[in-house]
Amino acid sequence: MTTRAFIGRPTASPREAADWSRRRILANNLRSVVGRAYPRVRGMAREPSWLFFEILLPFLTTSSFVFVYRALQAPQEYVGFVVLGGAMTAFWLNVVWMMAAQLYWEKDQGNLELYFAAPMDVMSVLFGMAIGGLVMSATRAAVVLVVASLVYGVQFSVDQWGLLVTVFVLALAAMYGLGMVLASLFLMWGREAWHLTHVLAEPVYFVSGLNFPVAALGRLGALALATIPLATGLDAMRQLAFAGHLGPAPFLPPLAEAGILVAMTGIFLVLARFMLRALERRARQEGRLTVRWR
């Protein structure tokens, strides 16, 4: 049986087939990003049940805090704080649960060894996962933000739209950068990393100031701003989305927080790359990560 497909596009020699230009390598990596993002984006349309779990349930959680503030007769801006926090929670949840556990799942499915055996850089796969997750979470965040704003009459007061959008993008970059680091950690540490995430979930929510300005936490809040991208991004966005803020004076102006987010993004990406390389080295040495029974 000889078909055209079996003839394919043969090369003259293995050397020619293996000799890739830098441009080809870059193109391969970029295509791999798109390729890995694809199943997540397609999955959104294939399983509409996520609308219930990913949008309605978080909306209810956000609503409960809105009613607490209303019962306390807090200023209307506080409702806005909660809604913004609810929207950003979508991204955070996606990072710490989906993104962080993804390589671990890929190993169980047998995908990981195919990724390592393919010619692209595995960082592309992580980028693809991040972008796919980001698209999914952005939909959820947008729905929570729009619906909650309309239902609860949130009034935004934005002076610097450009900076607000920049901070939002930087916050996402830093969060997903952290997700890429966590993905390698999860794969290396397995169940222990999973337990750690469980243990840290509520404390992180608390110190990130999802439902109140983080400055209210004093030094703990400052520490959160310096280490948790969710806290940094949220604090900057609150300052920018509700100009003439209420509550305790913020530690840092939005521009400085944008700088912290840039630094976090850089550090997380470098760390993720370093960890992936360490992971591959360990996988090849010990056979524990790509060989499923190991």
- Name the residues that contact another protein, by CB under 8 A: 1-11, 13-20, 24, 27-28, 31-32, 34-36, 38-39, 42-43, 46-47, 109-111, 113-120, 125, 190-191, 283-287, 290-294
Using the minimum distance from each CB to another protein, give the nearer residue, 17 or 57: 17
**Which amino acid, one-letter code, is at 204?**
V
Instruction: Yes or no: say if 233 and 91 are a contact pair by the CB < 8 Å rule.
Output: no
Residue 24 beta carbon to another protein: minimum distance, rounded to whole angstroms: 7
Using the minimum distance from each CB to another protein, give the nearer residue, 20 or 67: 20
Residue 176 beta carbon to another protein: minimum distance, rounded to whole angstroms: 20
Residue 123 is encoded by which pair of tokens?
A: 């960082």
Residue 120 beta carbon to another protein: minimum distance, rounded to whole angstroms: 5
Instruction: Yes or no: say if 250 and 215 are a contact pair by the CB < 8 Å rule.
Output: yes
Query: d(Cα 20, Cα 24) in Å, to the nearest integer?
Result: 6
Using the minimum distance from each CB to another protein, give the nearer residue, 230 or 283: 283
Using the minimum distance from each CB to another protein, give the nearer residue, 74 or 280: 280
Pseudo-torsion of CA 210, 237, 218, 269, nearest 10°?
90
Instruction: Yes or no: say if 269 and 180 are a contact pair by the CB < 8 Å rule.
Output: yes
Residue 205 beta carbon to another protein: minimum distance, rounded to whole angstroms: 28
In terms of Cβ atoms closer than 10 Å to its own Cβ (0-12, 13-18, 19+), residue 45 is exposed
Using the minimum distance from each CB to another protein, give the nearer residue, 187 or 217: 187
In terms of Cβ atoms closer than 10 Å to its own Cβ (0-12, 13-18, 19+), residue 286 is exposed
Using the minimum distance from each CB to another protein, give the nearer residue, 134 or 214: 134
Residue 63 beta carbon to another protein: minimum distance, rounded to whole angstroms: 31
**Cα–chain-centroid distance for residue 198?**
17
Query: d(Cα 218, Cα 210) in Å, to the nearest integer?
Result: 15
Residue 185 beta carbon to another protein: minimum distance, rounded to whole angstroms: 16
DSSP 15: H
